Amino acid sequence: MNPEASNHHPPRHAAAPDRPIHQVRPDGRIVGEIRSDTPVFVISVAAELAGMHAQTLRSYDREGLVSPGRTSGGGRRYSQRDIELLQQVQRLSQDEGVNRAGIRRIIELEGQVDALRDRLAGLLDEVAQLRDELAAARAVPSNSVLALGSDVVPWRRATTTLVTWRPRH
């Protein structure tokens, strides 16, 4: 990669769907939040934000590289995440010389990596919770009935003892 060429494009940031974009009024008041994956930008605005021509966005959409949301009338609506992806596609194509099939594969693999990272984070949380539960269980003396807590259920065995009763006179 040519380091000088990469300086012309903003750094790629990982999309954060849980980090909202704030809608701010001219007086500075925050009136709402838009998630980075909410499709809100029309094609002309998205093209300007991404630094490319609207026809390029249409081309990327036709090729399945970037798939914007659609209005009920069929108009394209781009999210902040889509714009970041458009910039990545352009960087890979122009600066790195990657063909469209390669770009498609890179995007697909990055999606898989993100999904695996999310799954790993969930599993690590689960392991931490199980370790905490195990440590708590080990902290209670094992020979105590109290160690069983709510798991103790009263139970009587059926017996086969025969009792004879004779009334006294």
Q: Which residues contact 85 (CB under 8 A, 6 or more apart)?
A: 15, 65, 66, 107
pLDDT less than 50: residues of the chain: 1-17
Give the residue carrying structure tokens 């010389």: 97
Give the residue carrying structure tokens 């025969």: 162
Q: Give me the pLDDT at residue 54, please.
A: 93
Q: Give me the pLDDT at residue 71, please.
A: 87
Residue 36 CB coordination number (10 Å): 18
Q: Give me the pLDDT at residue 148, please.
A: 57
Give the residue carrying structure tokens 């009263």: 154
Q: Give me the pLDDT at residue 163, please.
A: 64
